[in-house]
Amino acid sequence: MNFFVEAFAWLADPVHWVGADGIPTRLGQHLWYSALSVVIASVIAIPVGYLIGHTGRGRSIAVSISGGARALPSFGVITLIALSVGIGLTAPIVSFVILAIPSVLAGAYSGFEAVDRKTVDAARAVGMTEWQIMAKVEMPLGLPLLIGGIRSAVLQVVATATLATFVGAGGLGSYIITGLRANDYPKMLAGSILVIALAVALEVVFSIVQRLVVPAGVTAGRPSDTRSKAARPGAVTATPLTKGTQ
Amino acid sequence: MNWIWSNSDYILDKTIVHLGLSVPPVILAFVISLPIGWFANRYRVSRGILTVAGLFYAIPSLPLLIALPVVFGTSLRSPVNIVIGLTLYGIALMVRSVADALAAVEADVTQSATAVGYSSWQRFWRVEFPLAGPVMLAGLRVVVVSTVSLATVGGVLGVNGLGLLFIDGFQRDITAEIVTGIVLTIVMALVLDFLLVLLGRVLMPWSRKDAELKPVAPVQARQKVVLP
């Protein structure tokens, strides 16, 4: 327990809150790498995932990629890429993108898959085009699962970004790695506490966002064929009335 | 390739040590998750355990491994520290699987078991546990694969295992060494996963359909949002 006291003393020391090795700088780097990689991964994976989810083609490949990626050791990926492209920012970003893609992909296609086929058929029956079905039915209904996938990707990347410093790219992990090398236990513990706090905070934020994006009228985990009394007359009467008065 | 042949003993040693790091946490996590998962499923109030477990799984591995010695008094660079850390991650994943698996056992079946005179202990082991088997196996497969992969993080701390190949390969500029480490980690994860599936077929011959070699999609496994 004594070490925890020392670690918090390290965190409270104003010296560690300023400069190029200060906590705000390192936190900024950490968040920047993570955000950039997840955005790049999303740009690549979401369209592909949507295509797979909508057409149902290539599903088995997507499942094997997203399942098999779990076995991929992130530390190995980052060192391998650092060796081939050299020390700096490229190596960590490329490896984080590789590590983030499977989760986002899984979130995108499983979000589409989770949409009841009857709902999709109904949308087709009322004359929606395939694009409209994707944009107005499958995307909103699949959004919670997509956010879930992005959430896993963010957590994976934030965790792996701890190792970015190992290949010379800073981040909160730099306290851990320099602490390890110098056998400075309070320092590495302080770095660990920062990373853990960041990860837990992001997890909480994402779980809240995931709940917020559930479309109105859809309650996750519960059958939604019960319509609330308040919504019903509104839905039936509101539109024709305004049109009639015009 | 030359590197691999001239260092086969070294690689073999790392592989065996890695196996020793990965297998105990999986077994421990399963055994410990059973009562916790049962408890989480049995009482409404204790569903909160699942939230805590989910949050725990969000903790990055390297910081956790560094913080553990303060809590458990282990040495930072000892394999025991890694085994404890991996066991905790395994529990965090497995508790939800156990709770979900037990929740999926039909109430009619458990009530019938009670009706024909099973005590709650007998009912658990002879009815609920076997019926929850396939879902628990799916969870355990996720645990085994992620454990083998996570165990490489020990390499950063200097703990023996396949993770050391990454550090050593990076510092000495040997690409083959890192690639060997990655490939062996994946192969070990897949082999252990396959063995679990085989074990499932032997122990649960009735669930052949469920236990097919199907990779589990990560998001679906972790996050169960049911859309209508």
CB of A89 within 8 Å of a chain B CB? The answer is: no
Evaluate if residue A167 carries a pLDDT over 90.
no
Contact yes or no for B204/B134 (Cβ under 8 A): yes
The nearest CA of chain A is from the CA of B186 a distance in Å of: 5
- Residues B66, A192: C-beta atoms closer than 8 Å: yes
Residue B82 pLDDT more than 50?
A: yes
**DSSP annotation of A22:** S
Residue B161 has pLDDT above 80, yes or no: yes
Q: Over pLDDT 90: what percentage of chain B?
A: 26
Q: Would you say residue B45 has pLDDT above 80? A: no
Query: What is the pLDDT at residue B104?
Result: 85
Kindly identify which residue of chain B lies nearest to residue A157, measuring between CA atoms: B60
Q: What is the C-alpha to C-alpha distance for residues A145 and A105, in angstroms, rounded to an integer?
A: 11
What is the reported pLDDT for A74? 84
Between B166 and A164, name the one with better pLDDT.
B166
Give kind and range of the element (H or E) at residue A62: helix A59-68
Chain B contact for A224, CB < 8 A?
Answer: yes
Computed over every residue of chain A, the mean pLDDT equals 80
Q: What is the mean pLDDT of residues B131-153?
A: 90
Q: Which residue has the higher pLDDT, A44 or A170?
A: A44
The span from the CA of A90 to the CA of A87, in Å, is 8
Model confidence over A178-206: pLDDT tens digits?
888 888 888 888 888 899 999 889 988 98
Determine contact: B157 vs chain A, CB below 8 A: yes
CA–CA min distance A14, chain B (Å): 22
Other CB atoms within 10 A of residue B175 CB: 14
What average pLDDT score do residues A7-20 get? 77
Q: Are A52 and B140 in contact (CB under 8 A)?
A: no
CB atoms within 10 A of CB A64: 14
pLDDT tens across B172-191, in order? 888 888 899 999 999 999 99
> Is A129 exposed, middle or buried (CB count within 10 Å of its CB: 0-12, 13-18, 19+)?
exposed
Q: How confident is the model at residue B209 (pLDDT cuts 50, 70, 90)?
A: low
- Residue A117: pLDDT over 70: yes
Q: Rounded to the nearest 5°, which phi and psi values hold at A22?
A: -75, 160
pLDDT of residue A65: 81
More confident residue, B25 or B214: B25
Predicted pLDDT of residue A125? 92
Of the candidates B92, B203, B211, the one whose C-alpha atom is nearest the C-alpha of residue B150 is: B92
Comparing CB atoms, the residue among A63, A160, A196 nearest residue B215 is A63
Chain B residues with beta carbon closer than 8 angstroms to that of A10 = none
pLDDT at B221: 42
- Output A38 or A164, whichever has higher pLDDT: A38
> Token pair for residue B223?
């996050």
Q: B114 CA to chain A: closest CA distance, Å?
A: 29
Range with the lowest mean pLDDT among A153-162, A195-204, A235-244, B11-20? A235-244
Query: Which of A75, A115, A221 has the CB atom closest to B166's CB atom?
Result: A75
Look at residue B186 in the predicted model and tell me its pLDDT.
92
Over residues B69-94, the mean pLDDT reads 88
Residues 6+ apart with CB under 8 A from A236: none
User: What pLDDT was estimated at residue B225?
Assistant: 42
The interface predicted TM-score (ipTM) is 0.76
Using a CB–CB cutoff of 8 Å, tell me whether B64 touches chain A: yes
Q: CA A128, CA A130: separation in Å to the nearest integer? A: 7
Left (φ > 0), alpha (ψ -120 to 50) or beta: where does A127 sit?
left
% of chain A beyond a pLDDT of 70: 87
CA distance A158 to A203: 11
Please give the single-letter amino acid code of residue B151. A
Partners of B162 on chain A (C-beta within 8 Å) are 73
Task: Please tell me the pTM assigned to this model.
Answer: 0.80
CA distance A33 to chain B (A): 16
Q: Is the pLDDT of residue A229 over 50?
A: no
Sign of the alpha-carbon torsion through A209, A210, A211, A213: positive
* Of A59 and B20, more confident: B20
Q: What does the DSSP 8-state code read for residue A172? A: T
